[in-house]
Amino acid sequence: MEQLQNKIEAYKLEAGTENVADAKALEDFRIKWLGTKGIVKEIMGEMKNVAPENKKQAGQLLNEFKVFIEQKYTDLKANAGEAGDQAGQTIDLSLPGDDLPIGSRHPVTLMRNRIVSIFQRLGFAVAEGPEIEDDWHNFGALNLPEHHPARDMQDTFYIQQNPAFLLRTHTSNVQIREMEKGVLPIRGIYPGRVYRNETVSARSHCFFHQVEGLYIDENVSFADLKQTLYFFVKEMYGKDVKVRFRPSYFPFTEPSAEMDVSCFICGGEGCSVCKKTGWVEILGCGMVHPNVLSNCGIDPNKYSGFAFGMGIERPAMLKYGINDIRLFSENDVRFLKQFTSAI
């Protein structure tokens, strides 16, 4: 562990002194540090040699290092741009520009913004986390140790050269990253893309989007969870929609529930969308498990909280009458331009 720390420090010093004079040198910097055989990749590979009890700390260190190098690259890029300008290699601003067609917002973005803005009005702050994640933040810290059967439901894609890193299966990793910061109370809403090793079909895809919510403070109860989600449902689906909670199981919450809303297509009568049940499942939720709080250095005897997670594609499909999830990622403008209306 100490060896790894020293190595990272030495690399940071080295990267800190690098400078580039032109685009070629900038590209050399990128290849050396961020390329597929670059130093960042190489050092990430050391994760597998780290003892299990140090994995969490090592994961953080490696992540910070990556961010550091990426920032350095961004800075160098900005400087190289200026240097280019000074050398007289600027574009001729007097030339007429190309006509850029104005696009429209993606339906997933529209739905995400709508969900997020409801929680923002309740004082939830937006944050994001990495899509390429370590095992600890995606599983371990969420009370899903290695070989836990619940991992079966969330098979994902691993990085071949370094299986310690994977594509996150849910946005719940952001809960961990926000709690680790140690600033309490927390009231956060975390949208993002997630991945699963699933066969692509009209109803499921190997990547999709979720929004995660987290509320941690003293004396937070299940009643707070319910009221918050009731408010969300009314804002999102209207005042007449009914809500029900079904007991469920997630390793990172206890108790856990799934929340259904009465089918807003048939009004609860029963149709193909709600599979004749009159209810549509919207999200998973629960009280944050004490083990999860402890894993993030939060005292479960003092603090409690609730969390929830919901998909974005499904509500968007229901809202816009989209019958194939693959349409979202095919980049067909004929499909995409239909969703210009603000929702």
Whole-number minimum distance, CB 97 to ligand DAH, in Å? 44
Residue number with the shortest CB distance to ligand DAH?
309
Whole-number minimum distance, CB 311 to ligand DAH, in Å? 8
For ligand DAH, give the closer residue by CB, 284 or 315: 284
For ligand DAH, give the closer residue by CB, 233 or 307: 307
Whole-number minimum distance, CB 107 to ligand DAH, in Å? 21
Q: Which residues would be at the binding site for ligand DAH (CB under 6 A)?
A: 170, 172, 212, 250, 253, 284-286, 307-309
For ligand DAH, give the closer residue by CB, 162 or 248: 248
Angle 339-341-342 (CA atoms, 0-180°, nearest 5)?
120
For ligand DAH, give the closer residue by CB, 195 or 328: 195
Cross-strand bridge partners of residue 262: 279
Whole-number minimum distance, CB 319 to ligand DAH, in Å? 20
Reply yes or no: is the peptide bond before residue 185 cis, omega within 30 of 0: yes
Whole-number minimum distance, CB 99 to ligand DAH, in Å? 42
For ligand DAH, give the closer residue by CB, 186 or 285: 285
Cross-strand bridge partners of residue 114: none
For ligand DAH, give the closer residue by CB, 76 or 253: 253
Whole-number minimum distance, CB 308 to ligand DAH, in Å? 5
